Structures are given as C-alpha cells and as structure tokens.
C-alpha cells in the first residue's frame, strides 16, 4: 500500500510528468536565478510582484505536507538562501524593503504544481496580487 504522504523521490510516472522535475532536468527552459546540486531557483512565468521567482528542491517532494525530518537540511538551506537571492534579484534590504516567501500546500492551499516550491516575491508595492 502506498502512503499518499510519502515524498516521491525516485523516477516514475509522477516524476516523469512533473513540470518542475522537467525544468530541473533541463527538459523545459527556465530563466535561472540560482542552481546547485540540490536546489534550483528560476523566475516565475506569471509574476505577481516586481521580483518573483520560485525555489524548488531538485528532489521531487510533492508538497510541504510531505516534508519530514530527513528534509531538514535541504529546506533549511533553501530558507537561508532566499534572502540572498531576493536581494540579488532586486528586493531592497530589510527593514524598509523586504520580501515574502510563500508555499501553497494541497488543493485547499492553492497548490497547482505538485512539486514543493517556494515563491519569493518582493519589490515596491502595490503588487499584481498578494
């Protein structure tokens, strides 16, 4: 029996059809902000704010609901990287400036792509949304 809450980390139909897995694999082009062995950040194709990029783990994890203790280092690294990338992409420094980090989880949380991702948004307001 499959656990619906278990992260998908191996190749298979879910990963093969995942938009963000294809972007991470270079099968679909993106405007990269940052890349290393475990993390990819790229510009959102429909930005809501002057600065709007996504950060994804290259490992397929369906959503924040599937994050467990084994992902602490990866998620911690992503959160520690977000402020640096936000500044590099044009967000003004804290406290006058700033940015928002958002992750949508599940249908009721507004998640559209079922691969864990963080939206990093900032820049002068008003924004298109949010």
List, for residues 2-46, the tens digit of each pLDDT value.
344 444 443 456 688 999 999 999 999 999 999 999 999 999 999
Model's pTM, two decimal places? Answer: 0.88
Q: Furthest-apart CA pair in the chain: how many Å?
A: 51
Active site residue 38: no
Residue bearing the bigger pLDDT, 88 or 5 = 88
Average pLDDT over residues 90-109: 97
The predicted pLDDT at position 130 comes to 64
Judged by DSSP in three states, 26 sits in: coil
Residue bearing the bigger pLDDT, 74 or 2 = 74
Tell me: pLDDT of 66 over 90: yes
CATH code, residues 13-122: 3.30.428.10
Where in the chain are the domains? Answer: 13-122
Which residues pair with residue 67 across a beta bridge?
none
- Catalytic residue, from 52, 60, 115, 117: name it: 117
Which strand (E) or helix (H) includes residue 120? strand 118-122
């Amino acid at each position: 029996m499959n656990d619906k809450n278990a992260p998908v980390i191996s190749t298979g139909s879910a990963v093969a059809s995942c938009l963000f897995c294809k972007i991470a694999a270079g099968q679909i082009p993106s405007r990269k902000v940052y890349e290393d062995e475990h993390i990819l950040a790229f510009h959102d194709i429909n930005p809501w704010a002057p600065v709007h990029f996504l950060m994804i783990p290259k490992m397929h994890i369906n959503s924040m609901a599937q994050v467990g203790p084994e992902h602490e280092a990866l998620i911690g690294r992503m959160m520690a990287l977000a402020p640096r990338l936000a500044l590099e992409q044009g967000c003004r420094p804290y406290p006058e400036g700033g940015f928002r980090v958002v992750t949508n989880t599940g249908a009721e949380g507004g998640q559209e792509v079922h691969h864990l991702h963080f939206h990093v948004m900032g820049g002068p307001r008003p924004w298109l949304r949010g």
